[in-house]
Copies of this chain bind each other. A is one copy, B any other.
Amino acid sequence: MSNVLGNNLKITVFGESHGPCIGITIDGISAGVKVDDTFIKECLSKRRPSTSYETKRVEQDNYSIVSGVFEGYTTGTPLTIIIPNENTKSSDYSELKISPRPGHADYVANVKYAGYQDYRGGGHFSGRITAGIVAGGAIVLDALEKIGVKIGSHIVSVKDVKDRKFSNPSEIDVINKKEFPVFDNQEAIENVMKEAAEEGDSVGGVIETMIAGLPVGVGSPMFDSLEASISYAMFAIGGIKGVEFGEGFNFANLKGSEANDAFEIDNKKIVTKTNHNGGVNGGISNGMPVTFNVVVKPTPSISKEQDTVNMLANKNEKLVIKGRHDPAIIRRVNIVIRCMTAFVVADALIARYGEDVLRIGF
């Protein structure tokens, strides 16, 4: 229910920030997909904190694939990856049982789980669990690329500093090679993050994603629309508070004549002259690149003093969050978005073409 995603390619995530490990099980991945550990490690490193303005809690992510891979290829049966948590400090969080951190799930978890929740480091709500999304998603991302579908993501804005948007699919390879996921303006964007770190505060931002190479006809009308499926998965990632496709909220400023994507023949293929709709009509892919934005809210954990309550005594009190946290997670979230998208895209392709599509293509 809450930790399972997908219809044909299903993923189940498990684990907690301060438990021994986190993990993911992928069921329904085509047999015969090559598993490239180098690529998995590369994706995991993109998620790992590495800068001065990110958390000091660094994990090695020494993952193990404990099922579903044999002699280097997927078997078609459930594939499970387990990643140990090594760098845990439980003592940092002992007050959370009583004083909920603003913007976090401490309070709601205390009510929903009647006080039985694991409050340390956010427990199940921690971003740590996304390491499994990345390790598993990397395998699917790789398979998709081999059958002609590429996914790229980058930071498109942090506060008032912007990066240029994707203009065409060839830029996907460009952005995926980048150490820092922007086309331009890396320094200006990082400065905003460092500033927030120095203030003991935090910033968020917007991530743009492009999916290229998806054939026409993937997705369904209504509840299994590509947009519904993608957004559903995006909101499962901590900190995501909005999703928009194509022009997104800018559609509110356009007229129909400005928003419509006219059709034309290009090189004997039907394409659209523009792509305001982000590659999706009526929930179904139209062959143009699928583009969407997600907004990441500023990390709730900041060093500044905040107002909260004492849940036991039921009175107001002040809170200063100690411990290690992320002033700006958006660079690290970028690869999570990309990998999560891979799961949704694969699921939709399998629905249309059958369970072997990731091996044999379409």
Contacts and interface: CB of A to CB of B under 8 A. Distances in A.
Interface stretch (A46-54, A141-149, A236-244): A236-244
A249 B222 CA distance: 25
A310 B293 CA distance: 33
B124 A252 contact: no
Given A205-B252, A259-B298, 10 more contacts: A2-B221, A3-B223, A25-B25, A76-B117, A103-B261, A108-B284, A223-B236, A227-B241, A241-B246, A260-B302
A163 interface: no
Contacts of A262: 102, 306-308
Contacts of A273: 307
A125 interface: yes
Interface SS majority for chain A: mixed
Given A112-B217, A244-B249, A270-B309, A204 B254 contact: yes
Contacts of A334: none
Interface string A296-308: 1111111010111
Given A8-B8, A223-B232, A224-B1, A264 B159 contact: no
A176 interface: no
Interface in A86-131: 100, 102-105, 107-109, 111-118, 123-125, 129
- Determine which residue in A1, A4, A73, A327 has the highest number of CB atoms from chain B within 10 A of its CB, and name it: A1
Interface string A1-20: 11111111010111110011
